Each structure stands twice: as structure tokens, then as C-alpha cells.
Amino acid sequence: MYSLPRGRLFIKERPAMGESISAVTYILAGTLAMFAIAARIAAGIVDRETIRVWIGSWVAATVAVFLVRNFFAYGACLFVIALVSSRRLPPEERPYLFIVLMFTAPNLVIRMPGFAGINTLLDLTPQRILSAAILLPLLPALLRQAVPPRLKIVDTLVVCFVLLITVLTFRHSEATATDTVRRLITNVLEIGVPYFVFSRCLMTVGDIRKGYMALVFGTLSFPVIGVIEFLRQWRLFNVVAQGWGAEMVQFYLFRDGMLRSAGPAIEAIAFGFICMIAMGCMLSLMTREKRTMVVMGIFAAFAIGLVTSLSRGPWVGAAIMLVVYLLARPKAVSTGVQATLLGGLALVPVLMSPLGDKIIRYLPFVGTVENNNVEYRQQLIDNSMAIIGRHPIFGAAEFLNEPEMLVMRQGQGIIDVVNTYVALALEFGLLTLAIFLLIFVLTGLSVLPMAFRRDALAEPARQWLAIMAATMVTIATVSSVSYIPFIYWIMAGFGVGMVRMSTMGETAVGAMPHATGSPGMQGMRVIGTGAYAHSGAAAPATALSRTNDA
């Protein structure tokens, strides 16, 4: 997205097909088992036909990413898979398919060669292809929906953010007009389209739950991949990156002699971040009324995936997420105290066991493993403040060449700006950073009162606040790489969608019927097929379903 240029290690050798087959076999075997288990908890939220489409398209996309060696051939396959799968779903169900497929491939940039004097035509990633294939066609109908005036402020801020980071890239010494146009296309597909689609497509509480469940289904492979990589010391998706000829900082990253799992996220901290988000999407199912052994098993699997990343930033984020979720409710103090006591009691035997010392060594703030990372981050902030002080409003396009940054160069020859807020301020200035923060602060302040109510929107609002609190803390420890930007722009859309729903009174608990019956019914939202409501009344059709019925 707007991640910073970094020194790269370019690996040219082609991987053996046997490694690709082995990797995809392991992933399919483990993840299909996870799908079979997760389908039980999704029964009251997502209909069976939609789950079948999700799983079928996920399998096809995963096989393609490993077995189609050429990126452009793979991109064509992915585009076809997305189109065919989305056509099997009603229009209002299609945005969730994007979430499920988004995690099947690494978010690596491959440049499409140009012609007639243009060096590069487009900067492609699998996620941008999916955005163009699934989300972009839905946008015109969704933008016609009415939006409360106070939410138009957030929309305006998002548009301003996209325009600012696009225009300001033109200041780079090597930038051309075609570079700026290419950057605009990238920012629209990665920021504008996901935000505007997900801020408009949520029409009922059932839609919000479905969005959270899509994030769970899309990331079910992560615990499987994390355990395999951690135990076998084998990065499964390196073979994909090598096959595409992608530029990578490093293919293996160890901490205290142990491989840090990364999977399709490529970077370990991004892998941990995704596992943290998936845990947040499971929180409403962990309540006393809905908690089952299956739910706890899947939640524990994501927690294991989080641990295998050996990334302390997401660990801190996960802890903050749980605290916010417990406190953002009526009678929060008593609930929080009970949870703290139970958690503390559970930790005592663990810390007293032979594993206790090793666990403490890895903990943030008090641990001793790779303490130099903390020193590097502090030095980064100190040096960045000097540069920001010289270029406060619009930042410095060539900030990596500033003396304060040159002394930050690491052994791999890279300058790693491991803080999203600092990265934005350095390259695009405090004005852009302020707009970025306002988008999430204004949305959060609108969602916050909903969490303390006693209606159907309260629980999804608590989840959103918890996930966003964890996100805003974690991105202070990592630049916006891999899937991270997609997650927070989708979640921004979720938040605005919930506020719009609350403001306009659209809080019906909806679930999609099975894809049988008349074509007209397939485009409507019917209450009562799930476990959350039992009524035969139909909720109003969305803008997308009206388009479909027409």
C-alpha cells in the first residue's frame, strides 16, 4: 500500500514443483479439517450454500497459488475463480467472498511490464485483483445508498487521505505522471473500494456477524500453517514468492533459534496480527451462552498461531483486545475483575512450570530475548522526530536519504520503519497522519455508545472496539505491510456500517436463506433461518439485492 521502500534481497532461483505440491497438500489437509469443524459454529450465521462457495473457492485459489508458477497466469486464474464464485452468490453476499479469498496468497507486488515507453503498466497483487473482480463491480449500486450527514465526514476524510498520499508520491525524484496514476489505482483498490463497499453493504446485525465469520473462515489456514512452519522449520509460502520472482527482505526469520511462522503473510508480525484479528472475530462466540468445545478449540487454534509468530506486538495487541472487550459493556468492572482473577490464576501454574522462565524471556517489556529491537524502535522515534520537525506538514518524500535515517541502516542493508504512524508522518506529513487518525477516532467515538446499550448491535460493537483498539496499538510496532492495511480499512467500513445501521434504525437480525426457492427470494434478506431470531418476516432488500432483482 503506502509501505515504505526498503532494501531487498532478490532471489532468482526457481523452486521445485515437488515442494509446491508438498506445501499445498499439508495446507489443504489441515485447513479442510478446520473448515469441517468451523462449519458447525457458522450454521446460525452463514447459510450452507454460501459456506460451500467459500470453501470451494478457497480450495481452488489455494491450489492455483502453489501450482500455477507464473504470476500473471495465476492472476488470470484468480480473477476467473473470483468471478465464477461470486456469480454463485447473491450480490449482497459477495463482499464476504473477498475477505475469504484475500488470505489465500501473499500480498506481494509484481509489476506488469508496460509498452510504448512506459516501464510499468500496473503494480499487481492478488488482493488488488480480488478487489477489482469482486468489490469494484458492487461499488456503484452501494454508493447510491443514503448516508447520515455525520458519516459523510468520515467518507470525506477517506477520500482526502487517498488523494493526499497519491499526490504526495509525485514528489519522489523518479516519479512520473504515469507513476502517480498507477499509485492512484493502487490506493483506490486497496483503500477506497474496501472501505466504501463494507461501509455500505452491512444492512442487518446478521451481516456484521457474517463479516466477522468470513474473517474467521478466511484465516482458518493460519493456525495450521503456523504449527507446520514452527515445528518443521519450513516456510511454506517461500516457494510461491520464489516462483513469482518477488523481492523479499529475507526468507527465514528466527528468534532465539526458533523459526517465526509467517505463512502467506510473509512477515511474522503480520502473521501474528492476522491471528489476533481472527481471535477478535471469535469473541462474541466465547460468551457464556454460545461457548462450546468447538468454539474454544478454534479460538485456541488462533491463539497457538499467534504464539508461533513469536511477535510481541500482536501479543500486546491481543491482551489489550481482551481487556477492551471486557470493559466495553454494562457492569464492566465486575466482569473485568472476574476475568482478571481467573486469568491470573490460570497463569500461576504455567509460570511455575519449567516453561515459565522461557515464557518470561519472550514477554514484551520484561523479556530479555532480542532487547536490541526495543532500542532500535526508540532510536527510530527519536531520529524521526528530527526529520518530521523539518518537514511537518507534508513530510519528506526522500526521508530515507536524511542523515538521521541513514544511521538506522541494519545489517541486511534496510532501513525498517517499524511504526505505521511514524511512517505516515515521515513520508506524508502530520496533516496526512491527522486525517488517518481522525477516520478511526471519529468512527470509534460513534461506535462506543452502542457497546453499552442492550440491543442487538451491542455485541458486534464491543467486538469492533476491541479489534480496533488492538489494531491501533499493534500498528505502532509495524509498518503497514502485508494484509494489515486491508484489515483496518475493512474494519473502518464495518464501524461506519454499524453506525449507519444504528442511525437509520436498520438493526434487524438477518440471515440469508438457503439458495433454493424462487430467484426473487434469493435476492431478499429473511429473518429466521439462523439461531439468532425466529420469525418469518422479511427485512428490506439492500441496494445490491434491488439491483439483482431488477
Closest CA to 487 of 91, 199, 236, 194: 194
The Cα 132–Cα 128 span in angstroms is 6
pLDDT mean over 259-269: 90
Intra-chain end-to-end CA distance of the chain, in Å: 36
Secondary structure letter of residue 106 according to DSSP: -
Between CA 80 and CA 283 the distance in angstroms is 34
Structure confidence at residue 112 (pLDDT): 83
Strands 525-526, 247-248: pairing kind = unpaired
Grid-cell match 526522500, residue found: 398
The pLDDT value recorded for residue 536 is 33
pLDDT at 181 over 60: yes
For position 506, what pLDDT does the model report?
A: 56
Q: Which carries the bigger pLDDT value, residue 366 or residue 267?
A: 267
Residue whose C-alpha is closest to residue 457's, from 499, 513, 511, 496: 499
Can you give the C-alpha Rg of the chain in angstroms?
23
Domain residue ranges of the chain, discontinuous segments joined by +: 9-330+370-503, 519-549
CB half-sphere exposure, 352, CA atoms < 13 A: 6
DSSP at 509:
-
Checking if the pLDDT of 541 tops 50, the result is no
- Binned at pLDDT 50, 70 and 90, residue 304 comes out as very high
What's the rounded mean pLDDT across residues 202-217?
Answer: 94
Name the band, by pLDDT with cuts 50, 70 and 90, for residue 331: low
> For residues 544 and 528, what is the distance between their CA atoms, to the nearest angstrom?
21
User: How many Å apart are CA 96 and CA 201, to the nearest integer?
Assistant: 10
Output DSSP code: residue 328. S
d(CA 375, CA 205): 45
pTM of the model as a whole? 0.85
Over range 78-87, report the average pLDDT. Answer: 96
Residue 540's pLDDT band (cuts 50, 70, 90):
very low
* Per-residue CA distances from 504 to 93, 145, 456, 461, 532 (Å): 21, 12, 14, 16, 21
Q: How far apart are CA 27 and CA 397, in angstroms?
A: 41
Structure-derived torsion over alpha carbons of residues 375, 380, 381, 386, reported in degrees to the nearest 10 = 130
For residue 339, what pLDDT band results from cuts at 50, 70 and 90? low
Which has the minimum average pLDDT: 251-260, 439-448, 465-474?
A: 251-260
Whether 189 contacts 489, CB under 8 Å: no
Pick the more confident residue, 413 or 33. 33
Report d(CA 445, CA 442) in Å as an integer: 5
Produce one character per residue of 398-407: b if its CB has 16 or more CB atoms within 10 Å, e if not: ebbebebbee
pLDDT at 358 exceeding the cut of 70: no
CA angle (251, 252, 254) in 5-degree steps: 155
Residues in the chain: 550
For the four alpha carbons of 339, 341, 347 and 349, in that order, the dihedral sign comes to negative
pLDDT of 67 above 80: yes
Average pLDDT estimate for 269-281:
95
Q: What is the pLDDT of residue 214?
A: 97
Give the pLDDT score at 15.
55
Distances (CA, A) of 91 to 46, 415, 537: 15, 44, 21
Quote the percentage of the chain above a pLDDT of 70.
77
pLDDT band (50, 70, 90) for residue 242: confident
Q: Which are the contacts of 249, defined by CB distance < 8 A and separation ≥ 6?
A: 6, 7, 8, 9, 412, 414
The helix-helix angle for 458-474 and 312-327 (nearest 10°) equals 150
pLDDT tens sequence across 497-517: 999 988 876 555 554 443 333
Higher pLDDT: 145 or 22? It is 22
What is the predicted pLDDT for the residue at 27? 96
Highest-pLDDT range among 157-161, 169-173, 334-338: 157-161
CA dihedral sign, ordered 35, 38, 40, 43? negative
Q: How sure is the predictor about 521, in pLDDT bands with cuts at 50, 70 and 90?
A: very low
d(CA 129, CA 123): 10
Q: What is the pLDDT of residue 250?
A: 62
Identify whether the C-beta of residue 224 lies closer than 8 Å to the C-beta of residue 195: no
What digits encode the pLDDT tens for the residues 382-406?
899 999 999 999 988 888 888 888 8
175: its cell numbers: 516519479
Tell me 70's DSSP state.
S
pLDDT (0 to 100) of residue 354: 54
Q: What is the predicted pLDDT for the residue at 520?
A: 35
Please state, in angstroms and rounded to a whole number, the distance separating the CA atoms of residues 327 and 321: 10
pLDDT at 299: 92
DSSP-derived 3-state class of residue 272? helix
Mean local confidence (pLDDT), 85-96:
95
Reported as a pLDDT band with limits 50, 70 and 90, residue 298 is very high
Tell me the torsion sign for CA atoms 263, 1, 420, 385: positive
Over pLDDT 90: what percentage of the chain?
Answer: 51
* Each residue's pLDDT tens digit, 10-27: 444 455 678 899 999 999
Q: Is 124 helix (H, G, I), strand (E, B) or coil?
A: strand
- 35 in helix, strand or coil? helix
Residue with cell 468454539: 295
CA distance 359 to 176: 50
Mean pLDDT to the nearest integer, 177-198: 92
CB neighbour list of residue 389: distance below 8 Å, 6 or more residues apart: none
Is the pLDDT at 413 greater than 80, yes or no? no
Residue 420 near residue 478 (C-beta atoms within 8 A): yes
Between the alpha carbon of residue 306 and those of residues 216, 226, 227, 312, 540, the distances in Å are 14, 8, 10, 9, 40
Per-residue model confidence (pLDDT) at position 310: 87
At residue 122, the pLDDT reads 84
CB-CB contact of 298 with 257 (8 Å): no
CB 236 within 8 A of CB 263: yes
Mean pLDDT of the chain: 82
Tell me the pLDDT band of 537, cut-offs 50, 70 and 90. very low
